[in-house]
Amino acid sequence: MKSETTNIIEVKNLTKSYGDLVVINDLSFSIKYGEIFFFAGGSGCGKSTVLKQLIGLETPDRASITIDKKDFFDNQTELTKEFGVLFQSGGLFASMTLAENIAVVYKKFTKLNDNVISDMIDMKLSSVGLSGFRDYLPSEISGGMKKRAAIARAMALDPKILFLDEPSSGLDPISSAEIDDLIKELNTSLGITMVIISHDLSSIFNIANRVLLLDKSVKGQLEIGTPEQLKNSVNEKVRNFFRRNIDFE
């Protein structure tokens, strides 16, 4: 395993605009191997925009991005195979069982036979606490279970980095805490680097190693650090966010 002091993601001078609207301007940061790293901030601060640049859904106006010491733009096809992505909606196909949802990934990206795929599906569902649910449709399980199933699918190809967009969105406090526990367990047991978008303070304080707080007034980073550091920041705006979870402008 790589040293926890070594960066797996390095971003320099990330800038992204939509027409005349500049959302992110000259943002630089790094993420360590095995880290649980959060992006947080108020509405419109650019959290989702940054995520889209990191996973290759959009192309930035300007940026240097390296993943695992490789230039992202020169090796995008290769590197994105090492990503797992959980979108906010979960993205499960409603007409498919949980097993079929995961099988889609194996059939598209591997040459494994059906028996091996079936065994892999059972392993992935077991790893997220869903043993015995392979033949259920998404409509037949709870919101928290749908998120678990979506995480199992995102982990199908054993990614080095798991990107999660609001993983606890729409869940009750108990289900949200269970998702936090699952993320921490997967991070600890498998060493997966977790990159998470969230404004859920309970999740941030429960599992984040570091947090990058974005703010639309500066079109980028307001501050970066551990949750406790940000809670006690000298910047009043940062303190207010981490003490009261205000959705500031």
Task: Write phi, then psi, for 201 (nearest 5 degrees).
Answer: -65, -35
CA dist 238 and 229 (Å) reads 10
Three-state SS for 216? Answer: coil
- Residue 168 contacts residue 176 (beta carbons within 8 Å): yes
Tokens standing for 31?
């993420």
CA dist 64 and 10 (Å) reads 8
The residue whose two tokens read 């943002």 is 27
**216: amino acid identity, one letter:** K
CA dist 93 and 74 (Å) reads 32
Render each residue's pLDDT in the chain as its tens digit; 249 residues: 455 569 999 999 999 999 999 999 999 999 999 999 999 998 889 999 999 999 999 999 999 999 999 999 999 999 998 999 998 776 899 999 999 999 999 999 999 999 999 999 999 999 999 999 999 999 999 999 999 999 999 999 999 999 999 998 888 999 999 999 999 999 999 999 999 999 889 999 999 999 999 999 999 999 999 999 999 999 999 999 988 755 444
Which H/E stretch holds residue 16? strand 7-18
38-93 pLDDT, tens per residue?
A: 999 988 899 999 999 999 999 999 999 999 999 999 999 999 989 999 987 768 99
Q: Give the closest residue to 212 by CA, choosing from 92, 40, 25.
A: 40
Tokens standing for 132?
């015995």
* Domains of the chain, start order: 1-82+161-249 (3.40.50.300), 95-158 (no CATH)
Three-state SS for 173? Answer: helix
